[in-house]
Structure 1
Amino acid sequence: MMNMGGPTTLPEVGDFLSRLFHDRDLIQLPWQKRLAPLIAGRRTPKIVEQYRKIGGGSPILRWTKLQGAEMCKLLDEIHPETAPHKTYVAFRYARPLTEEALDEMAADGVQRAVAFTQYPQYSCSTTGSNLNELYREIMRRKERGAPEGNIDWSIIDRWPTHEGLIETFTQRVRDVLNTYPEDVRATVPIMFSAHSLPMQIVSGRGDPYPAEVAATVAGVMSRLRWSNPYRLTWQSQVGPSAWLGPQTSDTVKGWAKQGYKDAVVVPIAFTQDHIETLYELDQELVEEAEEHGMTLKRAESLNDHPLFIKALADIAASHLDTMDGTTSTETTRSGAVETWNQGRTSRQMQIRCPGCINPVCGEQKKFFADGTVGVGEDQLRS
C-alpha cells in the first residue's frame, strides 16, 4: 500500500522533510542535494509544532495498517483463490519506506505482489514518485541477485471513479449536511479540497491529477443530485511560484465576503486523516473561517468506514481477476463499469505526460507494463 506517509513521532519530522525536499519527482530545485537539507532544517521547527498540535505525530501509518488488515480479511473471503493476502506499507517519505517493505516481503518469500496506490487520483508527483522509487529499488536488488528483485508485479495506479470510493465520500458529505436544519441544508456551499500542485507540473508537463480529482468530485455531486453549490479548491501551496487555484483558504475568504455564513469542506484526495486534514483544515482553516464570520464543518475522512474497506477489497479483487483473465476488464465484481485498471497497469499509466522530461518515468512504466527494462536502465539506479 503506497502513500506519502507522515512522521509517527516528532523526532522523525526532520528526516521526513529531508526526503520530501530531496525528491525530484515532486520538487525540482537547482543544487537540490545542497538546498534540500537546508530547506528541511529551516522548516522543521514549524512543522514539528504543527504535528504537536495534532497529537505528536501523524496517524496515517495507523490508519493504513488498519485499512490493509481489514481489506485482507474481506479479500480472503471474496477472492479465496489467491488467499491468504497480506499488506505491506511502502511510504515515500516516512518509515516504513519502500526498501523496508521489500525487505519484509523478501523475509516472507513473496513471489507475486500488487503495488496498490492509496492516492485515488494519479499524479506524477505522488503515485508516480512512489512507483519510480519502487522501480529503482527493484533494479538495485536485481543487480545484486536478491530474490525480491524477481517478484512478479502488477499495479493499481488509480481509482478516482470507483463506485465504492464515490459512495463513501457521498455518505461522509451527507452525514455533515444532515447536521444543518432542513430549510437551509441545500444552500450550504461545499468545498472539495485537494492537495495543490505547481502549475509547472500541471500545464508544463500535463499531469492528469486535476482532471481525475474533478472526476471524483463530479461523481460525488452526481450521487448528491447536485444538491448544493460547490467548488473544487486546492490546499497546501508552498513557495512563491504559481500553483493550482483557487486556494482553499482564499475560497473561505471569498465566500465570507459574499455573505455565506456556513460551509462544508471535504478532503477529496485523501483516504486517511493526516496533517492536511487534522491541522490545515480542522485548525487553520476553521480558525480562518471564524475570523471572517463563517462556521466551517469538515466531512470526516474515509479512514475505517466499512464502505471504504469494501471498496479497497473490491478494487484489489477485480484487479486480481483481471490478472487471472477470469472476468471482463471493464466490469468490477459488483457489476459497475470500471476502465481504470486493465492488465498489469491501467491504460492511462502506460502513456507519459506530454511534457515529461524524466527518463525514469518511461523506464518504470515499461517495466511495470510488461516486465522488461528498456535502454538506459543502467543510468537510473544511481
Structure 2
Amino acid sequence: MFSKGTLFIAQQCPRYVKFSSASKPKTAILMLNMGGPQHIDQVHDYLHRIMTDRDVIQFPFAQNVIGEWIAKRRTPEVQKKYQDIGGGSPILKWTRLQGDLLCKKLDKEHPETAPHKPYVGFRYASPFTEEALEELKKDGVERAIVFSQYPQYSCATTGSSLNVVYKYFRDNGFPDGLKLSIIDRWSVNPLLAQCFAHLIRKELALLPDDVRKEAIILFSAHSLPLKAVNRGDSYPSEVGCTVQLVMWDLQYCNPYQLVFQSKVGPLPWLGPFTDESVKSYAKQGKKAILVVPIAFVNEHIETLHELDIELIEDAKKAGIEIIRRVPAPNDHPLFIEALVDLVKHHLRSKLPVSPKLINRCPHCDSPRCIESKQWFAQNCKL
C-alpha cells in the first residue's frame, strides 16, 4: 500500500513562481542541500563528486581512485533507480518551490530585509553552490543568509556544503559590505515537529482500526559512518531530538523507533538499519509499519525509491501486511511556516553564526574544517 509520498510526487511536483526581476533583491536566502541528477546522464558525475568528497566518506588511501571506481561501478544500478522514479530527481523543483514560498512570506512578514530572493546551492549536482554564490554576488545583495536544508547538522552534509562556501570566498574574495550569516541546524524547531506530526496523523488515520494503535512509527534518517559518529558528529543526537519532539506532539500515541538508511560500502555505519529493522519486526509478529523520512525535507531518490519501492518490497516479502510512507514536508504550510520562523528568528537573534558551528568535534583532525570555522567566525555578521 503506497502513501501519497510516491512516484506521483516526482511526476506531479507543483510549478514554482520565479522571483520577479523587477526589484533588486536586498537579502539572499541561499538554500544548501545535496542535490540530485536531473537526467540519467548526470548520475556518474553526481556519484563521483560524492565518493571523492572526504567530508562525506574517507577511504584510507587513494580517495580519488577508489571513489572513481565505486562511482563507475554503481552508475548503471543508480541510473536504473532514477529511471524508475521518472528519469531524474525532483529535489530541485521542491527546493525552488520552498524557496519561493519562503521569500514571498518573508517579504510580507519581515519587510525591513525585503526584497528576499532564494538561491539554490547544491553540493553534488547543478545548480552548484558556487553558481549560486556567483549569482547572488552579481545581484549585489546586501545580506546573504546561508540556510542549510538539512535540519539536523552533520559534518558530512551541512559541514561539507559550508566548506564549499568558505572555499569560494577564499578563492574569489569576499564582497565589501556583504553581511553573511548562517542557519546551520534546526532539529528542534517546533513547527518542523508539528509538520511531521500532522503528516503522521493523516497517514495513521488511513490505517484499519484494528492495527492503527499498534502500528510502529519507524523514523528513518540517512546513516553515517561510525567513524564520523565517534569523532563527535552531532547528527545522531540531533535526529533523536526531532523524533522526540514529534512524538511529544503526537502524545506518544504509538510505538516508535529511529532507524537509519542508505549505508554505502563495507565499513561500519550507524544503525539499526531501516530495511533490517522492518524484517526483524516482521519476525516479531508486527503487522503494520508507518515509515517517516525524518531527516529529509523534500522528495528525492532516498524516499521515492529506497523507501517507496525497495523497502516496501522487502516488507511485503518479510510478511508485513501494511506499510505506508509519510510524505516529506515538501510545500506543507506548516513546513513553510517553519522556514519563515527560522529566518525571522535568525535575523532578530543578532547571532550571525552559532557557537556550536564554530566549535570543532572533539576528535576532528581536518585542516579544512579548522580553516572554514575560523573564517566564518571572523567574517559572519548580521
What TM-score results when the alignment is normalised by the length of structure 1? 0.89
SS in 2 for 1:246: coil
Secondary structure of 2:56 counterpart: coil
1:236 equivalent to 2:262? Answer yes
Of the candidates 354, 371, 381, which is equivalent to residue 379 of structure 2?
371
Structure-1 residue corresponding to 2:305: 279
Bigger RCO of structures 1 and 2 (CA < 8 A, at least 6 apart): 2
Contact 2:211 2:288 in 1 (8 A): no
Q: CA deviation at 1:32?
A: 1.2
1:162 positional shift: 0.3
Instruction: Output the CA distance in 1 between the equivalents of 2:196 and 2:107.
Output: 25
State the match for 1:9 in structure 2.
39
Residue 199 (1) aligns with residue 226 (2): yes
1:141 to 169, 172, 175: 172
Aligned with 1:344 (options 344, 352, 356): 352
| Equivalent in the alignment of 1:331 | none
Corresponding position of 2:130: 99
- Selected match of 1:32 from 53, 63, 67: 63
Structure 1 counterpart of 2:339: 312
Aligned counterpart in structure 1 of residue 295 of structure 2, from 265, 269, 278: 269
User: Using a 3 Å threshold, how does the CA distance of structure 1 residues 10 and 150 change in structure 2: closer, same or farther?
Assistant: farther
State the partner residue of 1:179: 206
Among 82, 97, 117, the residue aligned to 2:113: 82
**Kept after mapping to 2: 8 A contact 1:69/1:87:** yes
| Distance of 2:169 and 2:176 partners within structure 1 | 5
- Tell me if structure 1 keeps the 8 A contact 2:35–2:125: yes
Q: CA deviation at 1:63?
A: 0.2
Note the residue ranges of structure 1 that are not aligned, 5 or more in a row.
324-342, 373-382
- Check the 8 A contact 2:216/2:288 in 1, yes or no: yes
Asked if structure 2 preserves the Cα contact closer than 8 Å seen for 1:88 and 1:101, the reply is yes
Cα distance in 2 for residues equivalent to 1:314 and 1:351: 25
Distance 1:238 1:150, change over 3 A: farther
Is this contact kept in 1: 2:152–2:186, CA < 8 A? Answer: yes
Q: 5 Å matches for 1:244-263? A: 244-263=270-289
Aligned length: 348
List structure 1 segments (4+ residues) > 6 angstroms apart after TM superposition: none
- Indicate if the aligned counterparts of 2:152 and 2:235 stay in contact, CA closer than 8 A: yes
User: Does residue 151 in structure 1 map to residue 182 in structure 2?
Assistant: no
Task: Quote the Cα distance in structure 1 between the aligned partners of 2:279 and 2:175.
Answer: 51
Cα distance in 2 for partners of 1:322, 1:111 equals 18
**Of the candidates 213, 216, 222, which is equivalent to residue 248 of structure 2?**
222
1:57-101 CA-partner distances (Å, limit 9, x unpaired): 000000000000000000111100000000111100000111111
Kindly indicate whether the alpha-carbon contact (under 8 Å) linking 1:138 and 1:149 is maintained by their aligned counterparts in 2: no
**How much does 1:149 deviate?**
7.7
User: How far is the alpha carbon of 1:33 from its aligned partner?
Assistant: 2.0
**RMSD over equivalenced CA pairs, Å:** 1.3
Following superposition, the deviation at residue 183 of structure 1 comes to 4.3
**2:228 partner amino acid:** I
Distance 1:368 1:186 in 2: 48
Q: What's the offset of the Cα at 1:192?
A: 0.2
Superposed CA offset, 1:137-184 (max 9, x none): 110101xxxx64863211000000101100000001111111123443
Mapped contact 2:121–2:131 kept (Cα < 8 A):
yes
Q: 1:42: Cα distance to partner?
A: 1.1
1:93-142 deviation per Cα after TM superposition (whole angstroms, max 9, x unaligned): 00011111111112211231010000000000000000011101110101
Inter-partner Cα distance in structure 1 for 2:211 and 2:122: 42
Give the TM-score of the pair, scaled to structure 2.
0.89
Task: Answer with 267-276 or 15-24: which moved more.
Answer: 15-24
For structure 2, which runs of at least 5 residues remain unmatched after alignment? 1-30
Change in Cα spacing, 1:348 to 1:133, as seen in structure 2 (3 Å) is: same
Q: Which amino acid aligns with 1:22?
A: T
Corresponding letter in the other structure for 1:208: S
1:292-307 aligned within 5 A: 292-294=318-320, 295-307=322-334
In structure 2, the residue matched to 1:163 is 190
Contact 1:168/1:307, CA 8 A, preserved across alignment: yes
